[in-house]
Chain A
């Protein structure tokens, strides 16, 4: 009993600390940019714009515009994408009982990117929702890729061993990647915009992108959070989960749909950003343990913090040049990937 209360208290502390960190990193990211604006002025503008507190009329109007219309949407968007990819990664790892599973190792990101590239190259528009065309196609392709990878893995080895899934994911990802290169070679004039987009970046993203992501984000996150109990059951193994009354097939498909929504929408606004969904669940698990009821909400916050910070690094480290954010996440992520893989093998062998 005593230890339970203790666990509860420390859990609360972790939530509070991570929320405070989230706010601090948000303010820091908004205050740093190529135009120098002091942290205090940034704070005043943010307080005024979010809570209508204080008077900022004497501040230069261009500075207010830069904070409000350029930096805040960009930072918010990176937070949303970081949160989406992390919670999707957590769900995939839980569902497949595979610590290496995430959108990029399963080929879902590249699959989603393929959908987006096809849409851009042929200028395809979905009737009634033309502005959502790229996003919806990207979600659809992400889902199809996920289904393809899992079906193939089942066919190859029924037990769905961890390395079979990852190997299949990587192969499918390479296949989708080669199709993307093929399309890029064919579509000359749009080449520049597609290449730029595939590198992954939040540059030049205004509030319209935040509004585009938000509905999909809410649906995907709420959808996944509902299944935290079932995800815990899956940790026992699919068969045992079935014994305790979990409708495994239906739930598996629902989780895959929500994961595809989150990954697809992220890919459609910022290109493929690899390894976030791999690294964040692991860090979060170290902090709060394997219970999905807490693992998923906390991975949202930590994921958001992580990507805001990575974006800050990618746009300041070589200032005034900007590094594609995918470069930074892949650099950090691949090292952590090797570490997890190695540790896992040591344990087994």
Chain B
């Protein structure tokens, strides 16, 4: 009898524990849907706490704006930076100055509940001023494709759209893999990406840039693979490294960037010039760490192999 009682007791205890666990799991699920506090760690390493899903967002970095749209929250953006030009709906948004010209007053005046800044173009003081005004600040930074996934995931969490962000990331990974399989076995070409033209001192991209990563991905060899980040390069290095393809991303300095490159007096012996393989690349897609990196990779692939 005693034994039976003990057994009953144990069984009932197990039941209550399971029940408790079940109810705990239930409350967690509900917290993901309802407006209770949640927090996200941004690229500064700062944990930002949200009391409710942001409804009035300002994004001051073009790539973040593109991600917010891709996640399906474009309608929640009340203002974007003057450089945000994709997707076309950004035309209808209020434009704010960013970078060194950022006006904290005009940001606060818009009464947003979230401001997304890019780390590279802004300063700590600006983040603090906005935070002091009681507005949540998320700072993003991405210098590689992998960072880009992390930022998409982060913004997904902020907007409570983790499923959508996972979908975007998996889509990008699949597209990149498709390109890799297409490229496999094809011969490799040497490529020079000109970020800024010779007349300003030519700038190109080395290790640790998306451009380099994308070139490697499409099976091309960046002629400045041995350089770190974005740097000024010397004209004579370009001539001596003799690229097979040249991609120009600068669209502002001359009305005809391709013609300008083709006509450079000391470049006539470079393979890309001799074979007419100078292209302009969509600078926005190629430099913004967002979902369109896939488009940039496809563009490079098409121009090199087709």
Contacts and interface: CB of A to CB of B under 8 A. Distances in A.
Interface of A: 33-35, 61-63, 65-66, 68-71, 189-190, 192-193, 196, 201, 203-204, 206-208, 315, 320-322
Interface string B192-207: 0000101111100000
A301 B231 CA distance: 35
Contacts of B199: 193, 204
Given A193-B199, A193-B200, A207 B265 contact: yes
Contact of A70 (B232, B239, B242, B252): B239
Contacts of B266: 65-66, 68-70, 206
A31 to B, nearest CB: 12
Contacts of B201: 196, 201, 203-204, 322
Contact of A33 (B200, B234, B253, B265): B234
Contacts of B265: 69, 206-208
Contacts of B227: 320
A192 B4 CA distance: 87
B235 A70 contact: yes
Nearest to B268: A65
A204 B199 CA distance: 6
Given A69-B265, A192-B252, A320-B227, 11 more contacts: A35-B239, A62-B240, A62-B269, A65-B239, A66-B236, A66-B239, A66-B266, A69-B266, A204-B199, A322-B232, A322-B234
B196 A35 contact: no
Interface in B237-276: 237, 239-240, 242, 252-253, 264-266, 268-269
Contact of B231 (A33, A63, A204, A320): A320
Nearest to A319: B234
B21 to A, nearest CB: 60
Interface residues of B, number: 24
B233 interface: yes
A34 B265 CA distance: 19
A62 B241 CA distance: 9
Contacts of A68: 266
B252 to A, nearest CB: 5
24 contacts: A34-B237, A35-B234, A35-B236, A35-B237, A35-B239, A62-B240, A62-B269, A63-B240, A65-B239, A65-B266, A66-B236, A66-B240, A68-B266, A69-B265, A70-B236, A196-B201, A203-B235, A204-B198, A204-B199, A204-B202, A206-B265, A206-B266, A320-B232, A320-B233
B47 to A, nearest CB: 37
Given A70-B266, A204-B235, A320-B231, A35 B200 contact: no
Interface in B210-244: 227, 231-237, 239-240, 242
